[in-house]
Amino acid sequence: ASLKRQCPYFCVGAAGLLGDGAFCKQIPPPRQTRLLHPGLRLMVENKDLLVKLRKKTGYSFVNCKKALEKFGSDAKQAEAWLHEQAQKEGWSKASKLQGRKTKEGLIGLLQSGSTAVMVEVNCETDFVARNMKFQQLVQQVAMATMAHHQQKKENLSTCIKSFLGTDALYRLKIGADGLSLTDQLALAIDKGKLGENMAIKRAAWLAVPSDCYIGSYIHGALLAESPSLANMVFGKYGALVVCRMSEPALKGSLSQLGRRLGQHVVGMTPLSVGSLEDQPGDETETKMLAQPFLLDPGMTVGQYVQTSGVTVLDFVRFECGEEAELTEHS
């Protein structure tokens, strides 16, 4: 006899007893699972790949779709091809922009422990200088400079200062893909759609031993446009000042002291440190320690640092757009 089961709706009479394969009219038959057509499934997967590639690279949907079609939905090859094409386009645009003056831009400051980097990257207008893509380029230059000097800071017994000019900077590489700063510049012009001539001008790197400190100051500092830029400070003028502590107890107050000395260097434009033995000068004085202190003209910088218990050893000053020659060494 065929198995019988009671209708869950408690139908009365024989109709309430259901045989195998029979369904009560009050009970809708189970839905059949529909499988996606292979072609439709492929379209969904390709769309996901397209969205991911667009989000990762920042290139247009049209170019990302073209890249995926070209390499049979191989995302890795598609991404590499997109970067290659962008570099070509960037260099094509960059070559057309060459010769246009780049007097604007940013000074970028990156500090890490006992080391500091200050760089200058130029563009044509202040509008582009405030663009996040341009600021990211400045960050890349600073990080590449820091990485280039990484080995030099080990077992320091004295202060080290190094300058890099345009040619040396363009050869530096950064990132897992090993792109040079030359390529990064091309990408910024094309991918960033900045549309201006840009130039990586110069960089200074400083490292000090444990009994010294690097004070810093950036004038006209801009707020970073992205959390990823939080390790950077951007502005139009910058200064790094190397100080030696006479007393370890002073280390906690060195940040403010270094900032004040940096302000002086930016504002008074000294050409050398000078000596505590130098006679006090006026506003035309070029030796830092003999200059009237910017924040208290009643005393010289030398008198100020003596009362603060530190010795000024060196400094670096950058002004965006200035004509300056740097001694280039690695």
Does residue 321 surpass a pLDDT of 80?
yes
Max Cα-Cα span within the chain = 121
d(CA 290, CA 292): 7
Q: Which of 182, 159, 191, 155 is nearest to 64 (CA)?
A: 191
**What's the mean pLDDT in 264-284?**
95
**Under a CB-based contact definition with an 8 Å cutoff, are residues 181 and 203 in contact?**
no
Q: Which of 226, 233, 219 is nearest to 110 (CA)?
A: 233
Element (H, E) at 105: strand 104-112
What would be the CATH architecture of the domain defined by 47-97?
Answer: Orthogonal Bundle (1.10)
Residue 76 or residue 318, greater confidence: 318
For residue 217, the model assigns a pLDDT of 97
Determine what percent of the chain is predicted with pLDDT higher than 70. 74
**What's the mean pLDDT in 266-273?**
96
Helix, strand or coil, per DSSP, at residue 76: helix
**Under a CB-based contact definition with an 8 Å cutoff, are residues 98 and 69 in contact?**
no
Start-end ranges of CATH 3.30.479.20 in the chain?
104-319
Does residue 198 surpass a pLDDT of 80?
yes
Write the single-letter amino acid at 218.
I
Averaged pLDDT score across all residues of the chain:
80
**24-28, 207-211, 317-321: the lowest-pLDDT one:** 24-28
Q: What six digits make up the tokens of 186?
A: 């091309």
Helix (H) and strand (E) counts for the chain?
A: 9, 14
d(CA 209, CA 217): 20
Q: pLDDT confidence of 196, banded at 50, 70, 90?
A: confident
Per-residue model confidence as pLDDT tens digits over 109-146: 999 989 999 999 999 889 999 989 899 999 999 999 99
Q: How far is CA 45 from CA 15, 64, 67, in A?
A: 48, 14, 15
Per-residue model confidence as pLDDT tens digits over 208-220: 998 899 999 999 8
For residue 243, the model assigns a pLDDT of 94
Strands 296-300 and 179-180: unpaired
104-319: CATH, from 3.30.479.20, 3.30.420.40, 1.10.357.10, 3.40.190.10: 3.30.479.20
Q: pLDDT confidence of 15, banded at 50, 70, 90?
A: very low
Strands 115-123 and 5-6: unpaired
Start-end ranges of CATH 1.10.8.10 in the chain?
47-97
Q: What six digits make up the tokens of 318?
A: 């950058």
The four Cα atoms 313, 266, 226, 206 give a dihedral, to 10 degrees, of -20
For residue 328, the model assigns a pLDDT of 42
**Under a CB-based contact definition with an 8 Å cutoff, are residues 313 and 212 in contact?**
yes
Q: What six digits make up the tokens of 329?
A: 């060494």
Please list, in sequence order, all residues whose beta carbon lies within 8 angstroms of the beta carbon of residue 254, skipping any fewer than 6 positions away.
Answer: 213, 215, 243, 245, 310
Question: The whole model's pTM is what?
Answer: 0.70
**What's the mean pLDDT in 167-177?**
87
Residue 292 or residue 253, greater confidence: 292
Element (H, E) at 27: none
For residue 80, the model assigns a pLDDT of 78
